[in-house]
Structure formats: structure tokens, C-alpha cells
Amino acid sequence: MDHFPTNWGRPRSEAVDLYNTYPLHNRPGPKADAFTEGVQRTQAPIVTGTSVLAFRFKDGIIMAADNLASYGSLARFKDVQRLIPVGAYTVIGGGGDMSDLQHINHLLEGLIIEELCEEDGHALGPAEIYEYLSQVLYARRSKMDPLWNSLLVGGFKDGKSFLGYVDLLGTTYTASTLATGYGSMIAQPLLRKYVEGREETLTEDEGKKIIEECMKVLFYRDARSINKYQIATITEKGISISESLSAHTEWSFAEKIRGYGAQTQ
Amino acid sequence: MAQQRSFNPYTENGGTILAIAGADFAVVAGDTRQTEGYSIQTRYAPKVFRLTDKAVLAVNGFAADGNMFVKKVKQRLEWYKHAHSKDMPLQSIARLIQTMLYAKRFFPYYVYNILGGIDEQGKGAVYSFDPVGSYERETCRAAGAAQSLVQPFLDNQIYFKNQTGEHPTHLPLPHVLQLVTDSFTGATERHIEVGDGLEMFVILARGRGSQELEGVAGIREVTTSDERERVFVINRDLKRD
Amino acid sequence: MFRNTYDSDNTVFSPQGRLHQVEYALEAVKQGSAAVGLRSKTHAVLLALKRSTGELASYQQKMFRIDDHVGIAIAGLTSDARVLSNFMRQQAMASRMLYNRPVPVNRLVSAIADKAQVNTQEYGRRPYGVGFLVIGQDALGPHLYEFSPSGTSYEYYAMSIGARSQSAKTYLEKHFASFADCTLEELVQHGLHALRETLQQDKELTINNTSVGILSGPGSSFKIVEGPELQPFLSLMVPKADPAAPAAAPAEDVQMEDAS
């Protein structure tokens, strides 16, 4: 996955219509009326969140995201929670456009309230939320009016853990380790190394160490990240989302770096 | 509108699918890797789906479109079953798929479909489609990222192209399974978007014995009703690098 | 045929506080041949008596599959049942499309009950002339519901609707305490014996006039058993004349619930 949310949903540069498969015609846009000029669709994200990481461990799902919402390269909002509890069994972690994420949160709140009002013992679990989100995001992309996000859906219900990915194109998949944005390139290989094959034995403490390690690496390498992040765990006992944490980092090596920037010698 | 219209609603999620028709069986297979660019999104995302006990559909291309398309086909088949109290015949499913694809001619499902199964005469059948609904019945077809690697192999081994001498019209099931496995191990070696897992569906015509499938590693039956065609799934590992 | 002053419009109450049109609709349900439903902790079954208009005619359809996990048996106007079952199928599919979840059975029944209620209140409409027994399996286990044209739906351990259903109800009331732990076969037997109570003296249940709908546990699909497949079930029944036949308690009529 591309590190820059601004590039999401655009053709990859090495494969721009290689086989002439993208439609060439101009699709009919919305009907023009007096307000058409005033209507805008998300064609580029504005305030963005970066990676979200999550993986399975023996008791459920662990997920993490930092607290930064960037405005381009400006670290604009530094206390944003990007891990959103949905009902009693699910957490979604969102990257990409933060206003679209708030809109999704709003949709899900409505959904959960409706479900609660039925008072019939049925509740939406992570698998249902995942399907719902994929339908919403796919429907929006099909209207050429995407919700510019990539989301992780993690949860635990009826003795089963669930972890899935949904993005602005409606692309979905499940796996035991998932990461969005820059995390899919930097953290995902680490997560696979630590987690794949050990899903049923990893403890929560081990999981948190892995998360801390990955968030630290991301903070070192991702210019749109911040060393302030939260961890969510979803298990039999329910959802818990931590206070903001920071990883211990070491920058003394920076002094010795030569060869670029101001220090050319 | 002043706004630039640069949102691209499509992507390409790699992978390869293939289907081969036998005299009284059909095999439909796909790898289970899903990619975007150079990233492996997941090692297990099914691309082959059982529609009925005599029809299996493989979809390849843009995964979101593929999943949605399969869901819609399945619901159309459900309505057919409600109305007629039987499963839709294979050739009708093929025509249904063509109309559903063509209905979105001007905003297509970016998906290559291959439908395999047993026709009304009890013979193995494969139908292949392009994204806007052109289709034809064939004996074998590969599609997806490694189509250009697999199809020539099948042309040679199934249609006996560029081979001289006598050759059979239909190959036995174990031989076909071997060709499918070789196709995918080969594609896995040479194509970065293919690998992780192989999922093969085998559909047997009504009354056909299943002894050739006994003892096959990783096989399980997924038939839903008795005294009809039978469907099996075989799962194999492919290289994960 | 009697007539009431206050029965030509279903939106008008009679001075006694009754909606006559709605009550006539309930009569339409009672005209239909009987259907019986019962459930255990693990299974739910429906049984229905099919009528035929004569030797040359086919038997009417009494059961409809709504989804893998839901099936209904009807009593009353078949055409109304087709409209409602079509709606139920749409609801079931919408749930699968949007949430990938089999629709919770109570919500499905409430949805048609709400539709029926509208018909008891709005000008220019008529109530549905059909009642349902709905069995379904969801996250909370097997269920049996009754739906009636008055816009109500109730959950039951066992229930019957349609012509002479009171006799079946009497049987069910006598035996329902044992249903919870029944196997599928026992449940079907109880159902068949209850259904037989609704027959006229000289009639018997046959493979032609009986439908059985089965939901056997989580993950299984609603299955309608008809024709020769029924024979094993019918053969197991205790003959009618046999004093050992598990008959219903004689004629202590239970008061019908009044419209509420």
C-alpha cells in the first residue's frame, strides 16, 4: 500500500492503463443545477492520519495507531484518537482523511444505536461491521465519491476473533496481521515475522512489545507519524483502549550523520 | 467542474485463475494471494466460489468488484431457486453473468470471470468472460496476472497445440489435476503476484464415481444436496516468497 | 352471512371497540387448512395439511423457504402469502448483503407484522388474509413465531393455525413440556400427531396431503419434506384407532385469546 494517502485510489505510476482497461469515455457526472459548483467530493484527502497496525494474538486482537492528524506535512492535530470502539465487540482503526473517518464514525454510531434499540439480544459483531463498512465504502467509490480511508476492523465475539481491512476502493481482505499506509511497507513484514504461525500462543504482553517495536520503527521512518500512540485490545473481556503512550527512542546517532542536509562534511 | 477528476475507482489485485472441462467433470482453480503493487495484502483471499452444486465461478482482477459481483450473482441464483425450486442450469448462469456484466458496460466490473461446472447434458463445461460480458464456451481457460504464462502451457497440454500424432479429446481427472497443480507452481515461480495457496474445485457429473479423488491430499467435499452433482475443494500450499 | 354496520371500512372502530375487517381477516386464516409448528432446544419443525380441490387438481403449496435459516407455513390466502414471503426473502437477502448475517428471525417476523398493522389502520387498504407460522434458526437458537393479519407476532414453543387448529393446539398443550429435549424425529412425530387432530374423522395423513418443514440445528438449511420421502415419518405414527395413540385431552376447550 502506498505511504501517501494522496496517491491512494490513483493509478500506480508503473501501470497506468497498461492494457487500455480503464474506461476511456467521460462518465456522466451529476446533473448540473445551481448548486453543482458548490458541491465538492473528496478528490484528495486534506487532514490525514497515517498507519494503523493490528494482529491476532491468543486472546483476541491488538491494534495501534498514533495520535497525529497531519495537514500536508504540517503536524496539525496531535491529540486525535484514531482507534474507534464500535459497539461492545469491535474497534476500527482509521487512516486517510480524518473528516471522512469522523463521518464513518457517525454512520457506525447510528447503526449501533439502531441495533441497541431493538433490544432483542442480537448485536453486530466485527464480521458484520466489516461487511457493512465494505458495502458503504464500495458504494461510495462506485458513485465516484469515495470515503478516503483505509480501515482496520478488529474484534472478538462469540469466542472468535476477527481482523479485516477495508479501503476507499471497497477492497477487503482478512489476515492475521494487517497494516495500513506506510505501516504496510515498514511494519507488516515485522508483524509477519513475529506473529505468523504464533497467533494461538502469543500473549498480550508479547503483543504489546511487538506493537511498541513497530510503532517505534514507524516513528523513525514515517515523516507523518508521531511518537504518541494508543493500543487497543479486544478480547473476551471486551474492548480496552490505552492512554497515549510513547516508545523510547534514541537519536544520538543523528549527530554523526554526514552527507546530506546542512552537514555536507 | 473546476475540480480535477483524478480519483481512479479501480485497482488490480493480482492472482491467477484457471478452469478445465473434462468429459464428465470440471476443475476450477485459483491461487489465494491478493496483492496491490508489490505488497501482499493477504495470503488467503478466495477467488473461486461454489455457486451451486454444478457451477463454480472464479473471479480475477479488481478484488472489490469481484467480491461484489459474486455476491450479486449468488443473490440472483437464490431468487431463481425461490421461483423455480431448483438450481439454475450452467448455460443459464453463463448468460446471466454476461447480462450482469454488460449491464455495467460503461462502468464495468474490472473482473475476468471463468465459470466451470456440469451442463444439462452431464458434460464438463467451462465458460470464460471478459469484463464487459463477451463470453464463449471452451475446454480450458486461464486468466489473471499469469494468464500469459499458463494459457500457452494449457494450449499445449490440453489442446495439444504444436504436438504431432494421436491425442485424446478428453483427459482423465488425475491428469487434469496434475496439470492444474503444475500450472500454478510454474506461475508461482515466475510471477510475483501468484502464490501462497492453491484452491481447486472439482465438480463431478451426476452418478460419476469419485474414486480418483480418494486419498488426494487436502480434499474436502462441499456438496450441499444429495443425489446430484458433487463438488470438492482441494487446498494446496504454494510458495510464499 | 351476518353483517355489521361497522365493517365496511377497516379504519372505523365499532362501538364495542372492534375492527370488524381485521376480525374477518382472522376468519380467513381459520378457513385455510391447518399448520402446526413446534420446537425443541435444537430443532424446529413445521407441518401442514395440504388441500386439493379435487382428483384432477394439484395440492396447494403450504410451505415456503425464505432463506437457509427460515421457513414458513401458511394458512389463509395463498396469494397474500406469496406477497409477504417475497418481502421476507428480500429482507433476508438485504441482511446477507449488508451485514453478511442471516437476518434475526424476530426482526423478520416483526417486519411483516408492521406491514400488516399498517393495513389495519390506513384508509383504502385491507388486512392480509393469511397467517404464518415461522420457524428460524439464528444466533439465539431455534425459534417458532406466529404471525397474524391483526399485525401481531408472538413466539411459541408450539403453535397451530388454520382450520380445526384448536384440536392440534389441545394436543400441543398436553405435550409441549416434553418438546424441549426432543430429537428431530420425536418432534416430527408430535407434530404429525397434532396435525392429525385437525383432520375429519374419516381422513388420514398421507404422503400427498402432508408437508413437513425441518430446521435441524445450526448450519443446516430449511428443508421441505414432501411425497415419498415422508413415508418413513408417517409409518412411525401410532394408528388412529389404537388406544395407545397419544390423543389430545378431550374437549376441554381453551379460551381463544381475544383481540388485544
Whether A66 contacts A244, CB under 8 Å: no
- Cell numbers 469515495 correspond to A146
Q: Give the model's pLDDT for residue C123.
A: 87
Name chain B's partners: 3 or more CB pairs within 8 A.
A, C
Domain ranges of chain A: 47-241
pLDDT confidence tier of residue C194, bands split at 50, 70 and 90: very high
Q: Give the model's pLDDT for residue C260.
A: 35
Task: List pLDDT tens digits, range A212-253.
Answer: 999 999 999 999 999 999 999 999 999 999 999 999 999 998
Q: Give the model's pLDDT for residue A17.
A: 46
Task: List pLDDT tens digits, range A107-136.
Answer: 999 999 999 999 999 999 999 999 999 999
**Chain C contact for B220 (CB, 8 A cutoff):** no
Q: Out of B104-108, C5-9, C193-197, C234-238, pick the least confident.
A: C5-9
Domain ranges of chain B: 16-237
Q: Give the model's pLDDT for residue A90.
A: 98
Residue at C80 is within a domain? yes
How far is it, in rounded angstroms, from Cα A246 to Cα A242? 11
Helix, coil or strand: residue B60 = strand
Q: Report how many Cβ contacts below 8 Å link chain A to chain B.
A: 86
Of A21, A40, A138, the CB nearest to B3: A40
Question: Which residues have a Cβ under 8 Å from the Cβ of C39 and sit 6 or more positions away?
Answer: C45, C135, C142, C143, C144, C157, C158, C179, C187
pLDDT at C246 over 70: no
Three cell numbers written together for A44: 484528495
pLDDT in tens, chain B (241 residues): 444 457 999 999 999 999 999 999 999 999 999 999 999 999 999 999 999 999 999 999 999 999 999 999 999 999 999 999 999 999 999 999 999 999 999 999 999 999 999 999 999 999 999 999 999 999 999 999 999 999 999 999 999 999 998 888 889 999 999 999 999 999 999 999 999 999 999 999 999 999 999 999 999 999 987 768 999 999 999 999 9
How far is it, in rounded angstroms, from Cα A227 to Cα A215? 8
Catalytic-labelled residue, pool A6, A36, A42, A233:
A42
Mutate to test the interface with C, among A122, A138, A162 (most CBs of C within 10 A): A122
CATH code linked to domain A47-241 = 3.60.20.10
Q: What CATH number did the domain enclosing C189 receive?
A: 3.60.20.10
Distance from CA of B31 to the nearest CA of C (A): 24
Whether A55 contacts A201, CB under 8 Å: no
**Chain C contact for A255 (CB, 8 A cutoff):** no
pLDDT at A27 over 70: no
Tell me, yes or no, if A42 is annotated catalytic: yes
How far is it, in rounded angstroms, from Cα A209 to Cα A217? 12
Domain holding C213, by residue range, is: 31-236
**Chain C contact for A127 (CB, 8 A cutoff):** yes
Q: Give the model's pLDDT for residue A114.
A: 96
- Residues of B with CB below 8 A from C96's CB? 75
Find the mean pLDDT for residues C75-89. Answer: 97
Three cell numbers written together for B109: 466490473
Highest CATH level, class, for B16-237? alpha beta
Q: Give the model's pLDDT for residue A41.
A: 64
Q: Residue type for C130, please?
A: V
Distance from CA of B35 to the nearest CA of A (A): 9
Q: What percent of chain C has pLDDT over 70?
A: 91
- Residues of C with CB below 8 A from A118's CB? 107
- Cell numbers 493480482 correspond to B14
Q: Residue type for B89, please?
A: P
Whether C46 contacts C35, CB under 8 Å: yes
pLDDT at C249 over 90: no
Q: Give the model's pLDDT for residue A31.
A: 53
pLDDT at A15 over 60: no
Q: What is the pTM of this model?
A: 0.89
pLDDT confidence tier of residue A2, bands split at 50, 70 and 90: low
Residue at C11 is within a domain? no
Residue at C12 is within a domain? no
Provide long-range contacts, Cβ within 8 A and 24+ apart, for C187-190.
C187/C38, C187/C39, C187/C40, C187/C43, C187/C44, C187/C45, C188/C45, C188/C47, C188/C212, C188/C214, C188/C233, C189/C233, C189/C236, C189/C237, C190/C38, C190/C158
Nearest Cα to Cα of residue A225 among A61, A42, A8, A80: A80
Whether A140 contacts A147, CB under 8 Å: yes
Minimum CA–CA partner of C99 in chain A: A128
Three cell numbers written together for B128: 470464460
- Residues of A with CB below 8 A from B10's CB? 21-22, 169
Residue at C116 is within a domain? yes
Helix, coil or strand: residue C242 = coil
Using alpha carbons only, give the angle A170, A126, B201 rounded to the nearest 5 degrees: 65
Helix, coil or strand: residue A33 = coil
